[in-house]
């Protein structure tokens, strides 16, 4: 995990996020080799970058 310096054009959040949109993480697609992640309540705050394989493993385990 590192601080993400890549420009991101579009963020998405889980369909499981609450109706106010402030209870979830947002992720961005299309950044080579990493998945940028940020707090949906603080969109101008820090963005973390996880290696794509690590993020995929995390999501897979969370779904179980």
**For residues 4 and 48, what is the distance between their CA atoms, to the nearest angstrom?**
5
Question: How many other CB atoms sit within 10 Å of the CB of residue 48?
Answer: 15
Residue 2 has pLDDT above 80, yes or no: no
Pick the more confident residue, 44 or 19.
44
**Cα(first)–Cα(last) distance of the chain, in Å?**
23
Domain spans of the chain? 2-63
Which two tokens mark 12? 């998405």
Which two tokens mark 50? 């996880």
| Residues 24-64: tens digit of each pLDDT | 888 998 888 899 998 888 888 888 899 999 999 998 998 88
Q: Pick the most confident of 2-6, 16-20, 27-31.
A: 27-31
| Closest to 52 in 3D by CA, of 37, 36, 34 | 34
């Amino acid at each position: 995990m590192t601080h993400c310096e890549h420009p991101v054009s579009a963020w998405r959040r889980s369909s499981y996020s609450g109706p106010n949109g402030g209870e979830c993480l947002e992720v961005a697609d299309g950044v080579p080799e990493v998945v940028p992640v940020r707090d949906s309540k603080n969109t101008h705050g820090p963005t973390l970058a996880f290696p794509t394989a690590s993020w995929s493993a995390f999501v897979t385990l969370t779904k179980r």
